[in-house]
Amino acid sequence: MKTILYATDYSQNSVAALRLAHLMTKKFNAKLIAMHVFDIPITLSTVSISHLKKEKRLLEENHSKLKKFCTEHLGDTWEGSNINFVVEENASIIDGILEKAIKFDVDLLVVGTKGASAVKEFLLGSATTGLIKKASCAVMAVPAMYILENFKTVVYATDFEQADIFAINRLVEIAEKFNSKIHIVHISTSGEYAGDQQMEWFKEMLKQKVKYKKIAFDLIFANDIYEELNGYLDKSEATLFAMLERKDSSFVQKYLQKDMVKKMVSGISIPLISFNIGGL
């Protein structure tokens, strides 16, 4: 991991994400790009000289504000860090961030989420969701109330897909830096066909292609997947929740984006990391 991009709106909701992005930067000896996207409302004189002057002024003001925000919340830990500050004017926050992620060949995009539940914000369709679905790199969503700590235990939700192997290999890169335990879990209803056989097949395939010893497997059948996942994260003392995002099939799309979304996991307060199949 060489380049990490952190995007902020200057709110308290993004402070925890900044601190985690900085920690990841130190762990990987990577470059950190801190960025802010702002928008100038479109008027009939959008291309006028006055508009261009306003854009230049706002770019300068936001660059100063972004640097001040990072300095304030990183404190002395910022000294000696490899941080670049980028400000972008774009009507779409998502497009502005993704354009820079591509331009700088970013490996990990780190953003904050509103409220105490990363999963809730992710499911309800925030800007974070758009980034997770469209980004070619991994996206880490950090709850506002998250207290910075090492990733002692990482939970990866699998649906026994071939692409999971590649995502887990990427996850191992992070786990090695934190000496983490990885729990690979599959949760489904009792009506799923041959779930235990699929798990054994997946375990064997994983052992052949992923070289990391601290991996455990759990197959869970439950009528209420939302409550079961919440309980599993709590029981395993997870400090990071990981998943694979792809257009037609992902853990979240299959199990959590249903009419029963109100019963989703609501108490999670740990970061989410999503690996996009297009970026693997």
Task: Supply the pTM of this predicted model.
Answer: 0.84
* pLDDT average, residue stretch 93-119: 82
C-alpha to C-alpha distance for 154 and 175, rounded to whole angstroms: 8
Confidence at residue 138, expressed as pLDDT on a 0 to 100 scale: 93
Confidence at residue 93, expressed as pLDDT on a 0 to 100 scale: 86
Report yes or no on 75 lying in a domain: yes
Report yes or no on 57 lying in a domain: yes
Clarify whether residues 37 and 130 are in a common domain. Answer: yes
Whether the Cβ atoms of residue 18 and residue 140 lie closer than 8 Å to each other = no
Give the containing element (helix H, strand E) for 52. helix 49-74
Of the three residues 104, 120, 143, the one that is the final residue of a domain is 143
User: Over 70: is that where the pLDDT of 257 sits?
Assistant: no
Clarify whether residues 172 and 255 are in a common domain. Answer: yes
Report yes or no on 33 lying in a domain: yes
Q: Residue 170 carries which DSSP code? A: H
Confidence at residue 128, expressed as pLDDT on a 0 to 100 scale: 74
Closest CA to 55 of 69, 67, 43: 43
Of the three residues 114, 143, 172, the one that is the final residue of a domain is 143
Report yes or no on 121 lying in a domain: yes
Query: φ and ψ at 4, to 5 degrees?
Result: -120, 130
C-alpha to C-alpha distance for 37 and 48, rounded to whole angstroms: 21
Clarify whether residues 218 and 275 are in a common domain. Answer: yes
Confidence at residue 51, expressed as pLDDT on a 0 to 100 scale: 56
Clarify whether residues 192 and 275 are in a common domain. Answer: yes
Confidence at residue 77, expressed as pLDDT on a 0 to 100 scale: 64
Lowest mean pLDDT among 26-35, 119-128, 266-275: 119-128
Q: What is the CATH number of the domain that holds 88?
A: 3.40.50.620
Write 55-58 long-range contacts (CB < 8 A, 24+): 55/89, 58/89
Give per-residue pLDDT as tens, 37-52: 987 766 545 555 555 6
Confidence at residue 245, expressed as pLDDT on a 0 to 100 scale: 78
User: Over 50: is that where the pLDDT of 265 sits?
Assistant: no
Mean pLDDT, rounded, of the chain: 80
Query: How wide is the angle at C-alpha 12 spanned by C-alphas 179 and 69, nearest 5°?
Result: 90
User: Over 80: is that where the pLDDT of 194 sits?
Assistant: no
Clarify whether residues 117 and 244 are in a common domain. Answer: no
Clarify whether residues 85 and 172 are in a common domain. Answer: no
Report yes or no on 186 lying in a domain: yes
C-alpha to C-alpha distance for 14 and 65, rounded to whole angstroms: 14
Confidence at residue 160, expressed as pLDDT on a 0 to 100 scale: 85
Report yes or no on 148 lying in a domain: no
Confidence at residue 127, expressed as pLDDT on a 0 to 100 scale: 73
Clarify whether residues 51 and 114 are in a common domain. Answer: yes
Lowest mean pLDDT among 3-7, 17-21, 45-49, 263-267: 263-267
Clarify whether residues 33 and 117 are in a common domain. Answer: yes
Clarify whether residues 106 and 162 are in a common domain. Answer: no
Query: φ and ψ at 136, to 5 degrees?
Result: -85, -10
Q: List, in order, residues 6 or more apart from 37 with CB less than 8 Å away.
A: 7, 87, 88, 89, 90, 93, 96, 97
Report yes or no on 274 lying in a domain: yes
Clarify whether residues 42 and 111 are in a common domain. Answer: yes
Confidence at residue 144, expressed as pLDDT on a 0 to 100 scale: 83
Report yes or no on 251 lying in a domain: yes
Structural domains of the chain, count: 2
Clarify whether residues 71 and 177 are in a common domain. Answer: no
More confident residue, 220 or 129: 220
Clarify whether residues 262 and 180 are in a common domain. Answer: yes
User: Over 80: is that where the pLDDT of 64 sits?
Assistant: yes
Of the three residues 86, 117, 143, the one that is the final residue of a domain is 143
Domain that holds residue 131: 3-143
Lowest mean pLDDT among 31-40, 114-123, 139-148, 246-255: 114-123
